[in-house]
Amino acid sequence: MSKETLNAKRLLCPLPVIRTQDKVKTMQIGDVLEVVCTDPGVMQDIPAWCRINGHKVLETITDEMEYTIILEVG
C-alpha cells in the first residue's frame, strides 16, 4: 500500500476530478491518495466521483483557502 499526494491547487472543477481520476488509474487497490485543492467545489465533486467509481473517502480537511481530500483506491 502506498500513499501519494496530488497537487490540484488553482485548478477549477472538474479539473481536480480529472487529475484525481488520472492519478488513481496508476494506483493499486488499497493505495491512499491525498488531493490538495483550492476550489471548494471539490468537497462535493471528488466524493461524488469516489462514490460512482467505488473509491472510499477517508477524510476531508478544510483549511481556510485549501481543501484536502484523502481517499482510498477501491
Question: Which residues between 27 and 56 bind other proteins (CB under 8 A)?
Answer: 38-41, 43-45, 48-49, 51-53
Contact between 47 and 20 (Cβ < 8 Å): no
- Binding of residue 60 to other proteins (CB under 8 A): no
- Binding of residue 68 to other proteins (CB under 8 A): no
Rounded to an integer, what distance in angstroms lies between the CA atom of residue 30 and that of residue 11?
Answer: 26
CB closer to other proteins, 2 vs 26: 26
Alpha helices (H) along the chain: 15-25, 42-53
Residue from 4, 14, 34, 60 binding other proteins (CB under 8 A): 14
Residues that bind other proteins (CB under 8 A): 10, 12-15, 17-18, 21, 38-41, 43-45, 48-49, 51-53, 65
